Each structure stands twice: as structure tokens, then as C-alpha cells.
């Protein structure tokens, strides 16, 4: 009987374990990309989140409570169309040769995001007319977001006195006829790297 057989078996097992560990570790170390769900990706998401929050802060800033913010004005002037990027501007998806959408929101989106290759959606979440459910409408649409997308939102209260007749076309209705509250909306900005 060979006394060395046991030692050789242990060596073989340890060698196999080492090879397995090396393979697992190598795969884990080399597959980190900006789109991988990993520690590196967390930083990308944090950057996008901060960027989105800053953008909404800038758009919703108003010096005087009597004058509406840029974001509020842009929402109130919206007619419910879905706008997509056609390579040079945000065009109505149903009528791409029509007048492009140009306002403070689109100016900031194209300046801050389009130039840097950051895809984005802007959705408006609003209450149904009886206030029982929350619905969503796409305002600006780049497509379905990837797994590493982040969302930031801004809540706005729309009032009866500031809503014009064209706003009816959006489908957002007065949820509270008894008071000056027209609807409470959430402007949701979703960002992701392409």
C-alpha cells in the first residue's frame, strides 16, 4: 500500500479548489462595466441621481411665489403629446414634421443629457378625476429604461386659476372642484446611460 496516496489526494483537491477560486475571482474582476450591477455601477447611479435632482431643482426654482417656475409653466403649456428626440430636437411622436417642442425643460435636457449620451424619460403622474388612482402619461420618451436607470421626481400642485383650456387635452382633470386645487402631479425624470 502506498502511504503517499492520501497526501496526493489532498494535493489534488487543494489544486482543484485553487483553480475554481481563481476562475471565479477572475470572472468577478473583469466583468465590471458601467452597465453591470456592481459597486462601480452604484457610483454611476449616484451621479445620475444627483444630476437629475439638480436639474429639477433648477427648473422648479422661483424667486417669487406669484410667478410660476419654468417647470410649472412648461407643464401647464403641455397638450398631452409624447415627444421623442429626432436627432436635433424633441418632436411630436405622432407628427414628427410638426413644430418641435422648445421650452426650458427641453433646453436643459438637450444641453445636460443629450450631449452626454444620457437617455431620459419624463413622465407626468397625476390623480384621476375622483382622486382614487394615480395614472401616468409620457411627456418626453427615449424608450424603456435599462436596469441601471435612476428616477427622481418633483411634486407640483396645480391650481384652478393657472390651468388654461389647452391643458384639458392632456387628460389631466380637476380632482377637487370644491377647492382651488386642480390636481397634484409628479414630474418623474428617469435617467440611464446608453
Partner 1 sequence: MAHVTFMSLSDRDDGQMLLMAGFIVAFGLIAITLMLSDILYATSLASEASMDPVKYDFLNLQQLANSETKNAYKSSTINGYTNWSTFEKYNSNYIGNISKIYAGEGYAIKVERGSPYEVRFTANGLLSGNPEWRVVGNATNIYTFKIYNYNYSVGDSFQIDVVNLTGIRLYSVKINTIITIINRTGAISTISLTDPVDLLAIGDTPFTFNTNTQGQTYSIYFNNGDQIAGRFNITGKSASNQTFIKARDYMINSTISLTSSRARLNITTPVSVPW
Residue 152 found at the interface with partner 1 (CB under 8 A): yes
Q: Which three cell numbers stand for residue 111?
A: 444641453
Q: Which three cell numbers stand for residue 76?
A: 401647464
Binding partner 1 (rule: CB under 8 A), the pick from 35, 80, 159, 193 is: 159
Write each residue from 113 to 132 as x if it is in contact with partner 1 (CB under 8 A), else as -, in one continuous string.
------------x-x---x-
Q: Which three cell numbers stand for residue 72?
A: 410649472
Work out the angle at residue 124's Cα, subtended by the Cα atoms of residues 122 and 129, and round it to the nearest 5 degrees.
170
Q: DSSP letters of 22-70?
A: HHHHHHHHH---TTSSSHHHHHHHHHHHHHHHHHHHHHT--SSTTSPPH
Binding partner 1 (rule: CB under 8 A), the pick from 35, 108, 137, 184 is: 184
Residue 158 found at the interface with partner 1 (CB under 8 A): no
- Residue numbers 65-84 binding partner 1 by CB under 8 A: 65-66
Residue 64 found at the interface with partner 1 (CB under 8 A): yes
Closest CA to 163 of 178, 139, 188, 180: 180
Only one of the segments 79-87, 88-96, 100-108, 148-156 lies at the binding site for partner 1 (rule: CB under 8 A); that segment is 148-156
C-alpha dihedral sign at 81, 84, 86, 87: positive
Please report, as ranges, the residues that interact with partner 1 according to CB under 8 A.
4, 7, 11, 14, 18, 21, 25, 39-40, 42-43, 45-46, 49, 53, 64-66, 125, 127, 131, 134, 152-155, 157, 159, 175-176, 178-181, 184, 186
Amino acid at each position: 500500500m502506498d502511504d503517499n496516496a492520501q497526501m496526493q489526494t489532498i494535493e489534488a483537491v487543494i489544486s482543484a479548489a485553487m483553480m475554481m477560486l481563481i476562475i471565479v475571482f477572475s470572472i468577478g474582476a473583469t466583468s465590471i462595466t458601467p452597465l453591470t450591477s456592481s459597486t462601480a455601477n452604484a457610483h454611476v447611479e449616484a451621479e445620475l441621481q444627483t444630476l437629475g435632482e439638480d436639474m429639477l431643482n433648477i427648473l422648479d426654482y422661483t424667486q417669487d411665489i406669484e410667478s410660476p417656475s419654468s417647470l410649472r409653466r412648461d407643464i401647464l403649456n403641455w397638450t398631452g403629446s409624447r415627444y421623442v428626440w429626432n436627432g436635433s430636437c424633441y418632436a411630436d411622436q405622432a407628427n414628427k414634421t410638426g413644430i418641435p417642442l422648445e421650452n426650458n425643460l427641453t433646453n436643459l435636457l438637450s444641453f445636460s443629457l443629450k450631449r452626454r449620451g444620457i437617455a431620459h424619460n419624463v413622465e407626468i403622474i397625476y390623480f384621476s378625476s375622483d382622486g382614487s388612482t394615480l395614472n401616468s402619461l409620457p411627456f418626453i420618451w427615449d424608450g424603456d429604461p435599462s436596469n441601471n436607470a435612476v428616477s427622481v421626481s418633483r411634486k407640483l400642485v396645480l391650481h384652478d386659476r393657472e390651468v388654461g383650456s389647452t391643458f384639458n387635452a392632456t387628460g389631466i382633470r380637476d380632482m377637487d372642484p370644491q377647492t382651488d386645487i386642480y390636481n397634484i402631479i409628479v414630474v418623474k425624470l428617469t435617467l440611464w446611460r446608453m
